Amino acid sequence: MFIDGKIDDVVVNELKKYSDDRGWLMELFRHDELAEEYYPVMTYISMTNPGVARGPHEHVDQADYFCFAGPSDFKLYLWDSRESSATYKNRMVILAGVSSPTAVIVPKGVVHAYKNVGNEGGLVINAPNRLFMGTGKAEAVDEIRHEELENSPYILD
């Protein structure tokens, strides 16, 4: 149903690590390098155990700005389910994390999931462009979940 290929509007950026004798620093985002529609309005960090996946799901109005810097490595799966997109029905798989620090913008309407493929708990930072549950957490969650769909077309390998 899906074919492997790039997906329009998904932005993949290498995260550069600046190291010295004190440790290291990594810039996750800068307004001068990010389209205004993706400016973060909140940030959170999550830890995912080895072998565990989160998703697949999609957002109606939210874009995610995921940062995979380590520890551990993740496979990020993306499916273009936007019928109006030139890359409709494309699928991308990206390896990101300690071995390849990466930031990925996932636009609204792109189904996504990630799985920790390493041997230790892995951290993911997300800086979405919408508040979770809106101002004061008074709105419905902007999420369409596909994890438990029978015969789901969104398959993680």
Is position 141 within any domain?
no
pLDDT for 116? 98
Side by side, which strands form the sheet with 53-58? 3-4, 90-97, 73-80, 110-116, 53-58, 144-145
pLDDT tens, residue by residue, 37-92: 999 999 999 999 999 999 999 999 999 999 999 999 999 999 999 999 999 999 99
Is position 77 within any domain?
yes
User: Quick check: 125 pLDDT over 90?
Assistant: yes
In the predicted model, what is the mean pLDDT of residues 1-13? 95
User: Quick check: 148 pLDDT over 90?
Assistant: no
Amino acid symbol at 49 = N
- Which among 134, 21, 125 is positioned nearest to 64, based on CA atoms? 125
User: Predicted confidence band at 151 (pLDDT cuts at 50, 70, 90)?
Assistant: confident
What's the domain range around 113?
3-136
Is position 155 within any domain?
no
Please give the share of the chain, as a percent, with pLDDT higher than 90.
Answer: 92
Integer Cα distance of 107 and 28 in angstroms: 17
pLDDT tens, residue by residue, 107-117: 999 999 999 99
CATH of the domain at 107: 2.60.120.10
Residue 1 tokens, joined: 């149903």
In the predicted model, what is the mean pLDDT of residues 125-134? 94
User: Quick check: 157 pLDDT over 90?
Assistant: no
Q: What is the DSSP letter of 100?
A: B
Q: What backbone torsions phi and psi does residue 137 show, to the nearest 5 degrees?
A: 55, 45
| Domain count along the chain | 1
Amino acid symbol at 11 = V
